[in-house]
Chains A and B, each alone.
Chain A
């Protein structure tokens, strides 16, 4: 029972790392980026390739997954995404679906369409008992890493100069520009970090979420749930939403396997009916 709760929490933390970038791009640029999962997939494949072809140890591939996803993210942001800020949401949706299709085809061309396995190092395998609660080592590792990231992000946002600029830009890009904040650079940096985190999440999550070319579509709705339910006005909302989603998903699949993901979709729709702007959104926005 508590094991399931713990598994749910770790899945939730992972979802948070995967989706937090999307929440910021949405809040900051008001951009619906359905291709966010493609960056996560990229990170996952970076880890696979680095481990299988170059024998890099798992832990060492993680920063690589972050970096490469971030670099690809910033290149795409500067060259393509930037042209679509302020365009109708339909255009953004079409554009990012296009990217998703390209990413899926490219992934199956380069890596084949079968799911990839990641060989975890021995010390992260298996589980151990704490007061009768079975805890997977890898799950614990996930929780710690993602927890540290979440705290770090919150600190960066609330304590640093960059954080306050970012918040100003989220509140009102025009005013921020008027205050002399270089909104473009803030956008690009944020996009890079967001994509990088997605890449890292993809690498971390390959073990429990699986990794195949269909990843961006399969988990798109999960990311979107985190963002819409959590609201995009802070990262606390998405964090709580991701935790709830993780617990609901793991619990739902364990206790009522016959209805599978049904629970989550139904919950999301219910939340959006009651609170169209998300569960944790500031009122009046």
Chain B
């Protein structure tokens, strides 16, 4: 209470607080390097572009989960519901003659957002377990619906006759997947640009507050329900984007997009890369996909075993400790920056 109230010290404090918040959201060299590298990959190694497109889409899906899990603290076992909805929306649209990718993307995101908005009210209440059940239940419900409505979805055979038009009316989707990769990467880039604004905004901070302590979040005046509905809707929309991309770049949708293993997988991807920092989702997608390749080359049918083992070990070691390890490595690569901890 005896802090001197000299004007200079106060101005200093304000400046210091401002600098602190600014540093948190500053663009890091590593970030720029990553995007340069990613876009550079468009011009080399064509044979890998299909794989890279797939990874990019997985990363986008994981980013959408990060919003609700990493920031708002909602554990979902059914995030594939929105991915699948987006995929089917884009697929059905293309099947019925509206093959323009970008408008399909927008429609898919809209459909997923509406579903996210409606189901968000179901995940507001109850404990973790109730939420797990509701998210799992919603996804199972959609899976079952897609399975039974075969006149619309093609049922177990998948959606037939998807014709995707050229991107922006000019670039056809080629066999190597270069257009697909460019398209997916472009969408991911735009989404990441938008989200790095969102997570450093008052809204983004409110989400972290809700995750950390709901009781206090309310006592601070945060309308918890409203914020959660908003973020759940946003997350669903982005998952819908990922689903639509997956449909448009492969010209195929099957029940698999709604399957439980997909929800579990994206959870794993996010956890591998670290939740609550956006870029973790991308790291996770890269690591996961490469691990999948290596493992399935070793034991083609049973690579799931290794994924499971990985999960078990990851949890037993502790996600926090892996986090610290990751940070230590990054700190060694980028020494002596007085950057604050936390999200990039």
Q: How far does the alpha carbon of A101 sit from the alpha carbon of B305 in the complex, in Å?
A: 6
Contact present for B148 and A94 (CB under 8 Å): no
Q: Could you say which residues of chain B place their CB within 8 Å of the CB of A273?
A: 122, 125
- Judge whether B48 is part of the interface by a CB distance below 8 angstroms: no
Contact present for A89 and B128 (CB under 8 Å): yes
Partner-binding segment picked from A2-10, A199-207, A257-265: A257-265
- Judge whether A277 is part of the interface by a CB distance below 8 angstroms: yes
- Chain A nearest CB: distance from B314 CB in Å? 7
| From B132, B141, B261, contact of A217 by CB (8 A) | B261
Main secondary structure of the interface of A (DSSP, over half): helix
Contact present for A268 and B133 (CB under 8 Å): yes
| From B69, B134, B141, B308, contact of A101 by CB (8 A) | B308
Chain B's closest residue to A92 (CB) is B315
8 Å CB interface, A72-100 against B: 80, 83-84, 87, 89-91, 93-95, 97-100
Contact with A along B116-156 (1 / 0, CB 8 A): 00000010011111101110111011001101100000000
| From B145, B264, B302, B315, contact of A91 by CB (8 A) | B315
Contact present for B137 and A268 (CB under 8 Å): yes
| A94-B137 CB under 8 A given contacts A217-B261, A277-B130 | no
Chain A: number of interface residues, binned into ranges: 35 or more
Q: Could you say which residues of chain B place their CB within 8 Å of the CB of A90?
A: 69, 75, 271
Contact present for B148 and A262 (CB under 8 Å): yes
- Judge whether A109 is part of the interface by a CB distance below 8 angstroms: yes
Contact present for B126 and A101 (CB under 8 Å): no
Contact present for A102 and B129 (CB under 8 Å): no
Q: How far does the alpha carbon of A108 sit from the alpha carbon of B319 in the complex, in Å?
A: 30
Q: Could you say which residues of chain A place their CB within 8 Å of the CB of B144?
A: 259-262, 265
Interface size on B, residues (CB 8 A): 43
| From A97, A104, A262, A272, contact of B126 by CB (8 A) | A272
Contact present for B77 and A102 (CB under 8 Å): no
Contact present for B260 and A217 (CB under 8 Å): yes
| A104-B304 CB under 8 A given contacts A90-B75, A94-B267, A259-B148 | yes
Q: Could you say which residues of chain B place their CB within 8 Å of the CB of A91?
A: 315, 319
| From A84, A259, A276, contact of B125 by CB (8 A) | A276
Contact with A along B294-319 (1 / 0, CB 8 A): 00000001111101111110111001
- Judge whether B207 is part of the interface by a CB distance below 8 angstroms: no
Q: How far does the alpha carbon of A109 sit from the alpha carbon of B133 in the complex, in Å?
A: 30
Contact present for A32 and B132 (CB under 8 Å): yes
Q: How far does the alpha carbon of A32 sit from the alpha carbon of B133 in the complex, in Å?
A: 11
- Beyond the given A95-B315, A97-B308, please list 9 additional residue pairs across the A-B interface where CB-CB is below 8 A: A87-B315, A97-B264, A97-B311, A101-B304, A109-B301, A217-B261, A258-B148, A260-B148, A265-B140
A–B complex contacts, Cβ < 8 Å, 24 sampled: A83-B316, A87-B315, A94-B315, A95-B311, A98-B311, A98-B315, A101-B308, A104-B304, A105-B303, A105-B305, A105-B308, A106-B305, A224-B132, A262-B148, A265-B141, A265-B144, A266-B141, A268-B133, A269-B141, A272-B130, A273-B125, A276-B125, A276-B127, A277-B127
